[in-house]
Each structure stands twice: as C-alpha cells, then as structure tokens.
A and B are shown apart, each in its own frame.
Chain A
Amino acid sequence: MDRRATLSTLLGRSHAAKATPPLETPKPPVLGLTPYAGTFGFEQAAHLLRRTTFGPKYAQIKDAASKGLNATLNELFKDNPLPNPPLNYDYTTDPNVPVGSTWIDAPYVRDTTNGGILHQGYRNTSLRTWTYETILNEATSIREQLTLFWHNHFGIGDNQDPKFWYRHITLLRTYAWGNFKELIKKINIDPLMLRFLNSNQNTVTAPNENYAREVLELFTIGKGPLVGPGDYSNYTEQDIREFARALTGWRDQGYNVTDATTKVGSFFRISSHDAKTKKLSPRFDETVINNGFDKEHETVVDIIFSKKEVARFICRKLYRWFVYYEVSAEVEQNVIEPMADILVQNNYEIKPALMALLKSEHFFDVLNMGPMIKNPLVFSLNLLKQIGWNAMEASDLATRHKALAALIREVANQQMVYFDPPDVAGWKPYYQEPAFYRIWINASTLQARMRLTDRMATNNYTVGSRTGLNVLNFANTMSNPYDPYLLVEDMVSVLLPQSLTDPQMTDLMNAFLAGTPDYEWNTIWTNYTKNPGNATARSSAETKLRNLVKAILSLPEFFLS
C-alpha cells in the first residue's frame, strides 16, 4: 500500500503521482534530489516557508504560491542588508553609551569596589532582544534560520562579553549560505571561539587541543567509529595533536576592556606559534604541514576540506535542520550523497546545495510535511509572526524591548535560550538519538508552551499592559473573514502543517461560535468593520476570534511543522 498516496487521499489533496511501488513493498521509495515538478500551491509554499523562516503570514504564503518555487527560493536567498547593530534601548547609566546608541564598540567602566566591570548586563539583554526583534521583523528570507543553524553548529554557550558575541553572530549571519570552508577559516580565529575552546591558550610550550578536537569532531568532518587505538576512521588522535600545533599562536583581544583603544579582535603572536613541521596520520594521507605562520590555520582547513566526508557531514546536519531527523540509508544515498556532490562541485558554497534540497521532490514529499516538532523559538515566534503581536505595535523602543525580554524568558521556560545552547554539540534535539526533536517535549515544557499560547490568545499576556495576539488583524488578512467556515479553514491552513479531520474542524467551529448560528458571525464582523472604533462591536468580534485562535493553537498539530 502506498502510504503517500493514501495520505494524499486521506487529506483530500492532490499530489503529483509517483511511480507506484509493487504492492508488497511496505514503504514508498525515498524520493531524491530531483527537482520537484508537481503543483506549487498554497500548501507547498506554506511548507517551504515554515521550514525556512520563523513563520509565514497568510499573505506571504499566497504571494510565494503565485510567484512559484524558483522565484520564492530566490527571494529566500536574496542578499538583504544585515540588521543594524543592537542599541542601548533603555539603560541610562552607561557613560559611554547614551540611550539610542549602539554599544558594540564602547568600552566598559571599571568597578572600583571589586575590580570587575560595570554596564555589561544591559548589553547582554540588548543583544538578545535585538536578535528576537531581527527575527520578528524578517520577511521572506532564510537568513535567520541559517544563523541559528550555525549558532547550533558551533555551540558556543558560555556567558561571554556581548561585544564578542556581536562579532560572532554577525559572522554567522554574513556566512549564512556562504562558503562553509571560508567560514571555518574565520571561525578558527574568531575572538569568541578563541576563548570558548581555549585556542587563546594554545601555544608552542603548552598546546591545548580543545579546539582542534571539536573542529574535527563537531564542526567539519565528524567522528567516525573507533576502529583502532585513537583512530576515529575520519581522523586520529595524532591529527588532533598535529592540527592543534598548527593552530598555535592566536590570541583574542578586547575582552571586557575599559579602554576605548583596544578593539575586539584576534592577533597572531609568532613566539607562541609552533614553527616545527607537523605530520598527519594516514587518515589525512600523512600530509606534512610546514610552518605557515599566521596562514597555517587556513592550511589546516584546506586539508580537512579535501575530504568529501566534510560535505556529507554538513549535509546531514542541514537535512536534520530543514527536513527531518531520520537519516536512513536511502536518504543517505538519494539525498545526502548528491547534495554532498553539489557542495564539493561548488567549492563548499552552501547555497547551491541547500537550494537543491529545498527544491527537491524529497523536500516536497508529503511524508516530510509536518513531522518536525518545532523548537521553542520557532514555536513561540511562529504564533507571534503568523498572527501578529500587539506588543510590537508600541511606538516606544524601550517598551518593545521590555516585551521582548519577557518573551525570551517564556522561550527559556520551554528550554531554549539563544546564545546559550547546552554545550558545544548544540541543542540535543538535533543530534541526540533516538529521540531527536522529541527531546523538546516534557511535562514542564508542554505546560510552558501551552501557557504561552493560551495567554497570548486570550490577551492575558502582560508586560506592563496586556499585549496579546492581534487576532482582529489576523482575521482581516484572510481571504474572506465574513465567512466563518472559510475563516477557520484559512487560519488552519496558515497555522497547521496538514489539514484536520472533520470532527476536529467541527470542534473548532464550536469553539469559535459557541452555539450561536453561523450567519451571526457575518453580522458581528460587518458591525466591527463598519465601526472599528466601537468598543462593543470590536469586543464582540475579538472575543470570538480569541476563542478560535486559542483552540487552534492548543492543538498538538500546532507543535508540528
């Protein structure tokens, strides 16, 4: 039985017919990287945008569907300007940074009472609310998803100087779909990374292997099975040692400084560099690295990237981020391998390989629509972006950022904190077998998720004042808000990855109209649109819409993408 075909029928949707497998085959064949040639309608556009952005609005999906797949992909990868730097939004006591200015190059002030520094806390908060704001304001672009992908990839999570963080995250944002090999060369000497994995202590007299180990195991080629003493198939302990030696000599500067002249950056100290020859294991063809001074760290990257396994490794990670956690043997063969080929052919430019994945028949396979449990950030920002959040209507910058700071705590309760993945391997749901995405879900995070959706939907979310979802505007952007059935269908099609069963739709209608005859909704909406300033008319429509939105958001289907 072809489950894909059954499902399509079950869902009452048309789907490009594929070659029917023999009847005894329990599983349909795994579709590959062949470009998708079926219909690119609302549901396909919604699927693409759900996976590549932090939540598309109804109009965005409509627009993408009418433009077509290729035009939408071009828009997703369009090189929009990077966000303006974070500002001091409301902190009035930093003498070096007035409210409204950026702090990214400003020195700290020495705390004479204990030798520490002052005025760092608000910058940490600003960095984080600025990140949320950037995501909330992003239109049809894949950049923020990829920025978070790389943040997860490099896994830096210690509480660090926010000025270092700004450089780091800007590097990730810049290279979002850029050249992976070049990105690793930059990461080698990124000031934040130099500190995080102790490369700043890696010297000729006291080599520190921490970074060399992780760059192989987690950032580029990955650890294969242990097949001999210190031999992880793709590399050996000898390679870790020798690469560590080749990477010696780099230091960060500008950490927590209180003077205006020392800028955040990194520098090469030749006396700390190991100038002797390094020799790699047979895993790297016994390559010899001669002293290359401050360029030697780039040679390390070139050597690692000469192995195709690097391409497979990063393609698997991209797959787990954008498609599904299970990388079966068929997926490995039909998707990962051809994707890795594209990556290598394009000298490790991410864009062509990722675009090939996102336009493939594999990506648009109905089996890949909806089985991803959203991470807490996607979950929380989905509802705010797709429906609209009143807090962001505030004209005052400080008020908006106060609301964002509160939102960050809500997401933290769901166990995800931007700039604080649990360890260098990133968030567990993206690598931890066998549970993967399911790790996000437990009794506490379930309650945290539902508390957020309930309070947002019912306007009981309070930051200073009540700042819930803008349900009136949400309804107003649907195809025909006067028709209660169409309205519910439209909302479901935006917010949920697959359609609901008839009894579920009936439940939603009951939650919405609460027993009043369906034609009354037309009257209620007409009254409101004619007199939007009339509190009674407004409240009458708003109450019903809030009940409806609450019912949709509390469905477990909303947890899925």
Chain B
Amino acid sequence: MKRRNFIKTAGVAATVPMVLNGMKISAAPMSPLFSGIDPYSDKVLVIIRLSGGYDGLNVVLPLDQYSNLSKLRTNILIPDTKALKISTETGLHPAMTGFQQLFQDGKLGVVHSVGYPNQNRSHFRSTDIWQSASSANEYVNTGWVGRYFQDDHPTYPEGYPNGQFPDPFAITLGSTVSETCQGTVGNFSLTLTDPFNFGKLTEGKETLFPETPYGQELSFLRTSISQTNQYADVIGVASKKGKNQATYPTSNLATQLKNVALLLSGGIKTRVFVANLGGFDTHANQVDASDTTRGTQRELLLILSEAIKAFQEDLRLMKLEERVLGLTFSEFGRQIKSNFSMGTDHGTAAPLFVFGSCVGKQIVGKNPEIPVTVPDQTGVPMQIDFRDVYGSILQDWFGVSQAEIKDYLFANYTRLPIVKNCAVATDTDDITFEATSVKAYPNPFREMSRISFRLNGSAWTRISVFDNIGSELRVLMNQQLGAGDHQVDFLGEQWPAGIYFCRIQVGREVQTVRMVKI
C-alpha cells in the first residue's frame, strides 16, 4: 500500500497515536506524510529547460577563481567589475539584473555545479538522463515526473480526464512533449502552444470498433482526440477566467510563462509545467570579440532573467507566489577552457537556479575550483547530483515519502535545502561535516593519496574520484559512517598523470578536492 494513498483516505482523522510501518506517528509530527494534508495539494512546479548545454561559468561567476579563470578564458571571460554580486565571491552575468533582484528579494536560489557521474556530452543522451533521472549508463524510458504521476494513475491515459481529475496533470509549453512527464503508456503532459488557439479536433461519428488491432488503434486515436478536446475545454475556461497582471517582455519564453500564470490564475489544477529556452549550444560567438558582456549568451540570459522576473511579479500580484516553485536545468555545462571561436565546447556540470517565494535566498554548494592549468576538454567537476535536486523537490515541495522518491529516482538522494520558507516538511538534519577537515595527502602524489575528513555525527558518506572530463573513475566509499575521523586511500598507479577530483559527499554537504598525479 502506498503511504500517500493511505493518508488520503485517513485524512486529518489520524490524530491519535498509531503505528504505521513500525514508526510512531507522534514521533514525526512535522512530516507531511502524517499531517493529513491533501496529497494533491496545490503546489506547482515549473521546469525551464535551457537546451543546448549552457556555459555555467559565464552565468554564475566564481569571482574568487578569476585569477586562474582569466588565463583559461582569455577571450570570453566576463570582467569581474561587471559581475552582479550575490555574495562576496559569487556574481551573476551582467545581463541578469532581474535574477539579482530576485535573489535580493529572497526568491532565487543557486545550486552550484549540478551534474551526474560519468557525464555524457551528447545533447540527446544527456537530456534523456536529466529527464528520466537515470544514471549515465542506464536507459530508462519514463520521466521522473511521469513516474511520480503514474504511481497514482497507473491506467492513464485510459479513463482520463474524469470528474475527479478534469485537468491535465502536466502541461508542456510548445509542441514537443516533455520526456520528463513520460509514463510507461502515456505522456502525462498536454502539449500547449497557445491557450487561446487550442483547436478543437473533428471527432466524427462514434462507431463500434471491431475487436482487431485495427479497431484497437482506431479506438486509441478516438480517445486521444476526445481527450485533447476535453482538455481543450478546461484550457479554454481557465484562459478566459484568468488574467495576467504584470507586463512581460517580448520573448518566446516570456510568452510561455505568461500562459502558465494565466492558466494558474484561471484556476487550472495542473501540477507541473515545462517550458523551454533553446540556443545555449554556444560553440562559437558566445560572446562578442569586442565586448564579452555581449553576444549570444547575453541575449539568452537576458531573456531568461527578464521572463522569470516578470513571471514572479505576475504571481505576486495574483497572490499565487507561495504555490509555485521554479527550476531551470541544462543538459550539461561547458568546458573550462574557451575555444578559439569565442565560444565553449560541451562540458560537464553547471549551476542551476530555483526560483519562487519559497526557495529562500541561498547558494547551495561552492564556487567550482579552477586550477592554474587544465587539460583540454576539462569540464567543471560535479558537486551536486541532479537527482538530489529532484528528490529534494519531490520531498519538500510535493511531500512525497523518501521511499517513493527512491523508487522514482532509482537511487538514494541527498536532501538539499532548496525549499525553505514554505516547505511542507521541516528540515531536521544536522550538518555533520567539518568541511575544513578535508585533506588529501600527499598531493601531488605518485601512487597513492590519502583522503581524510572528520564527521560530527553519523552520516551517509560517498567518496568518489573523477577525471578531468567528469568520468567517475572509482567510488572509494559509499556507506554510513559514525562520528569522528575517517580516511580512505586513492590508489592511482593505474591512472595516467594529470588532474583528478575527489568528491566527498556527507549527507547534503559536498567538498571537492583537486589532486594532481605526477
């Protein structure tokens, strides 16, 4: 039995102490699973896909790394004097004044260096990985949001929409179905280009379908057409009833977000929206030769920043801010060294943004560490696994249980402090890591380097070593550790001389140590 369904039935009546799965309810008073809230609460997630793989180092500027970065990116680096600071050592691209404002207002969070082990640098494959939430070496054909919906609606699309669920579960803005919302049979997202022009399709006469493959496919098509038309009615009602209150800039992304706000204000009960901004594959002319604060990337970041700022303002005026959380992602970051075409090539990790009045003013993780020299093709080493971001949102925003989240993500995840002000669950984790205790010795090393660190309490610890292009070479440790000093050896004799990164994750804290083999 699924816990959420249980709670749904039990409702608020479950106030007397009782034992559920061996756990006393009164022992976890703040958990959403036991608070009797509607599992289909009104929380909405807006995912913005930045397709092409964006150059995170020119978006969230690691100002404390500029002495090295300026040597590796002579032709494209954004001058630090132009950076829009969000902390003493971190700035935003100068086009992103909207984001800076949102950060100051406590409505924007930054998560540093998000990626996954063994980064695949193909647009397609890496997008699949981000959308399915699989590991780099797994092929999974459903999306992480699709699996979340499917658990409660296993027969979808058969029988939907219905009286209880008249609205689309998810909406993809544009004409490409989001794989993020793919279930085993159907895709949970309705594709929507223009809510005011959601044409009714000809349904034709009802006919009996012969019990043959032909009849079955015909029946499927009729169902799809009829479902589209029923959703068209819902969209039509919401877009008539809704009203935008803020002024949006002119861009495709702004229009997509404007439609999201419009539908939400019109009362649509859709839980997930997926928007898209493409063009980040900036192999050439990412910046102008004469002025690195201009160029292709600047235009895109301006669109992104201004569109989200307007969207957030619209939600504020509509008094819907506390219902909506936003998340950006791009399939990969780009390489640390720029190329000779005023651009950058496919790399590994990149920062992502979360936005909304519930995210709080925060920076999760640290600026990536940029060495003096890096081999060609080196990407930004991953600090945070993207599934930690997904898991934290499912847990703290949608109130999904950890066990279910593990099923949806096929993996353990570490809860990150993304959702703050309006979290459905409270954060009781203690920080158990003395970040300053992390050492690798000897470093540089010839055959072996010993990684040591100290824990303040018991925590799940995962230590792995990456090469400079983001491949996870070896997992040194993946287990629960107690308080105290710990160490683990990296035996590197089989690997060529060069730069390696040791990533130590303790609970939700991450440290990366750069190691040099000579």
Contact = CB atoms under 8 A, between A and B. Distances in A.
Contact of A371 (B139, B199, B212, B285): B212
Contacts of A372: 217
Nearest to B187: A442
A133 to B, nearest CB: 25
A559 B202 CA distance: 13
B432 to A, nearest CB: 35
Contacts of A446: 201, 224-225, 228
Contact of A435 (B139, B172, B186, B193): B186
Interface stretch (A63-71, A184-192, A262-270, A447-455): A447-455
Given A114-B284, A423-B128, A445 B175 contact: yes
A228 interface: no
Contacts of A503: 205, 207
Interface string B166-205: 0000001011110000001111001111000011011011
A25 interface: no
A157 B124 contact: yes
Contacts of B355: none
A551 B204 CA distance: 9
A373 B217 contact: yes
Contacts of B201: 446-447, 450, 554
B269 to A, nearest CB: 17
A445 B186 CA distance: 14
A445 B285 CA distance: 34
Most buried by B among A7, A367, A434, A446: A446
B204 A423 contact: no
B275 to A, nearest CB: 14
A37 interface: no
Contact of A560 (B123, B198, B205, B217): B217
B462 interface: no
Contacts of A7: 210, 212
A551 B224 CA distance: 18
B32 to A, nearest CB: 32
Nearest to B208: A501
A84 interface: no
Contact of B202 (A115, A370, A444, A450): A450
A372 B212 CA distance: 12
Most buried by A among B186, B199, B212, B289: B212
A547 interface: no
B224 A324 contact: no
Given A501-B207, A504-B205, A370 B214 contact: yes
B238 to A, nearest CB: 15
Nearest to A157: B124
A114 B225 contact: no
Given A446-B228, A447-B201, A556-B222, A437 B217 contact: yes
Contact of B210 (A6, A115, A428, A434): A6
A444 B193 contact: yes
Given A423-B125, A437-B217, A507-B205, A413 B175 contact: yes
A259 interface: no
Nearest to A453: B202
Interface string A331-367: 0000000000000000000000000000000000011
A555 B192 contact: no
Contacts of A554: 201-202, 204
Interface string B305-337: 000000000000000000000000000000000
B213 A368 contact: yes
A442 B227 CA distance: 10
A3 B210 CA distance: 8
Contacts of A373: 217, 221
Contacts of B285: 114
Given A113-B289, A503-B205, 9 more contacts: A114-B285, A371-B217, A372-B217, A425-B139, A438-B217, A444-B175, A446-B228, A554-B201, A560-B218
22 contacts: A113-B289, A114-B342, A158-B123, A326-B213, A367-B212, A370-B213, A371-B214, A371-B216, A372-B217, A422-B124, A443-B224, A443-B227, A444-B172, A444-B190, A446-B225, A447-B193, A450-B199, A450-B201, A450-B202, A451-B199, A497-B214, A507-B205
Interface of B: 122-125, 128, 139, 141, 172, 174-177, 184-187, 190-193, 198-199, 201-202, 204-205, 207, 210-214, 216-218, 220-222, 224-225, 227-228, 231, 284-285, 289, 340-342
